[in-house]
């Protein structure tokens, strides 16, 4: 035992860690529940975390799960980085690397997991964790964070979050950078803090700056990615709409926008608008119930209860189940506007289809409307891109990207933009609608 302790003491003396990490995240009091390293590429954060955790696990038996959002194979985990660190410092005498885990002589255990595969019940296997390493934390979804954080609850347990900033909608950015957490220590780090920054990395950085300086600053300095002109609803406008407070909307008709999910797991979303303000909302998940009649009746009952009475105007997505719901609502004497997202817009000179027009019209109203301050809604609105395509009259028109195109690049949101679609439905004025809802003046109180 004395020999092992002597070897551990020698290992601690030999290890080099990025100075800023050691000074601010290792030798700190009090113990923080969360330690966040954020910055650009080449900052040396992952190597530093690997060394710190391996050393801590030598000093006492620790259970350390290493997680990421999706881990299709062990090759996609940080296991190789830990293995390389063990070999670099000659710690094979203490650690044994197995196919899917790393074990220490004192019983310490490193395990590797993809949070996407867990739910509230299965995540309980991680409850005894002493440390947790969240790699590529910018990709961690809100769902994954919400099941992970309450699970790592052992006394003095610490979660290490390691990420390069991506978008202002990423939950880890919102929780630890935008909103201050008194139990978290945030450390900004970049390549300048890394004395092992190689010439090869320096050449790559210089090449990136020569190609596109804005993108290079995002990659190497940790600046947020630009969400500019290619997005239909800019972040600044969406934030403004979520901060606005409307008080003089009572004289306007009520309108409900209803987006009916097509796939199991998607959301069914209702928004109720009066003038410029969303005054009520309801979300429900579409189940995979094979009894379609039962599901249709459940949606219908919920929608009628949400609307309140027949004076409310309904703008509903007319696809799939939505069309059946619209039929039943009309049969029951509700004022219904069927909206075909792929149908013709009012303004054919500028827009390729109805859904593009709805999003573009909402964009023009964002300065003075009052919409819910909702993280998921924000993500869905600001990540939808548009492009110019050849229109039927021979000149270019605007076309919003499809849902499948959105899913290819969007992050940290549900697979379908159901909340955003319901919102644009609530604010849309059909060309020949059932009733007229009107909008209040742009005056904000």
What pLDDT is recorded for position 252?
83
**CATH 3.40.50.300 corresponds to the domain 235-427:** no
Which among 417, 407, 408, 385 is positioned nearest to 230, based on CA atoms?
385
CA-to-CA distance for 108 and 62, rounded, in angstroms? 5
- The CATH class of the 2-221 domain is alpha beta
Low-confidence winner among 157-161, 196-200, 226-230 (lowest mean pLDDT): 226-230
Q: Assign 438 a pLDDT band (cuts: 50, 70, 90).
A: low
The domain ranges of the chain are: 2-221, 235-427
Q: Give per-residue pLDDT as tens, 381-396.
A: 999 998 888 876 566 7
Q: Give per-residue pLDDT as tens, 17-48.
A: 888 888 888 876 667 899 999 999 999 999 99
Q: Are 158 and 25 in contact (CB under 8 A)?
A: no
Buried b (16+ CB within 10 A) or exposed e, 291-312: eeeebbebbbeebbebbeeeeb
Overall pTM > 0.75: no
**Two structure tokens written together for 146:** 């919400």
| β-sheet bridge partners, residue 184 | 34
Q: Assign 221 a pLDDT band (cuts: 50, 70, 90).
A: very high
Mean pLDDT of the 344-364 span: 90
Q: Are 81 and 146 in contact (CB under 8 A)?
A: no
Cis previous bond, 131, omega within 30: no
């Amino acid at each position: 035992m004395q020999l092992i302790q002597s070897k551990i003491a020698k290992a601690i003396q030999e290890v080099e860690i990025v100075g800023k990490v050691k000074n601010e995240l290792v030798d700190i009091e009090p113990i923080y529940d969360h330690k966040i390293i954020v910055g650009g590429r080449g900052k040396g954060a992952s190597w530093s975390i690997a060394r710190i955790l391996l050393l801590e696990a030598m000093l006492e038996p620790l259970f350390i799960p290493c997680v990421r959002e999706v881990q299709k194979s062990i090759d996609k985990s940080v296991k190789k980085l830990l293995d390389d660190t063990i070999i670099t410092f000659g710690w094979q005498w203490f650690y044994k690397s197995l196919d899917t885990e790393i074990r220490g002589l004192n019983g310490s255990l490193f395990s590797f997991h993809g949070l996407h595969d867990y739910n509230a019940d299965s995540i309980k296997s991680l409850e005894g964790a002493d440390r947790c390493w969240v790699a590529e934390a910018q990709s961690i979804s809100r769902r994954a964070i919400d099941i992970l954080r309450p699970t790592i609850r052992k006394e003095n347990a610490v979660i290490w979050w390691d990420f390069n900033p991506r978008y202002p909608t990423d939950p880890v950015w919102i929780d630890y950078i935008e909103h201050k957490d008194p139990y978290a220590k945030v450390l900004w780090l970049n390549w300048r803090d890394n004395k092992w920054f190689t010439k090869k990395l320096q050449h790559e950085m210089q090449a990136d700056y020569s190609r596109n300086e804005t993108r290079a600053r995002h990659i190497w300095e940790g600046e947020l990615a630009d969400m500019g002109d290619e997005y239909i609803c800019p972040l600044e406008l969406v934030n403004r709409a979520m901060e606005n407070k409307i008080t003089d909307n009572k004289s306007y008709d009520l309108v409900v926008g209803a987006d009916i999910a097509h796939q199991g797991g998607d959301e069914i979303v209702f928004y109720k608008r009066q003038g410029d303000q969303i005054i009520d909302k309801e979300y429900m998940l579409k189940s995979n119930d094979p009894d379609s009649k039962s599901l249709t009746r459940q949606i219908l009952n919920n929608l009628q209860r949400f609307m309140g009475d027949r004076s409310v105007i309904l703008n509903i997505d007319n696809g799939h189940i939505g069309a059946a719901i619209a039929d039943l609502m009309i049969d029951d004497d509700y004022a219904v506007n069927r909206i075909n997202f792929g149908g013709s817009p009012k303004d054919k000179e500028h827009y390729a289809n109805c859904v593009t027009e709805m999003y573009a019209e909402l964009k023009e109203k964002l300065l003075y409307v009052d919409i819910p301050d909702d993280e998921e809604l924000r993500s869905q609105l600001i990540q939808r891109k548009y492009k110019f395509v050849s229109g039927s009259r021979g000149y270019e028109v605007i076309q919003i990207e499809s849902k499948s195109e959105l899913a290819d690049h969007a992050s940290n949101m549900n697979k379908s933009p159901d909340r955003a679609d319901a919102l644009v439905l609530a604010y849309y004025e059909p060309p020949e609608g059932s009733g007229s809802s009107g909008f209040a003046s742009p005056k904000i109180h």
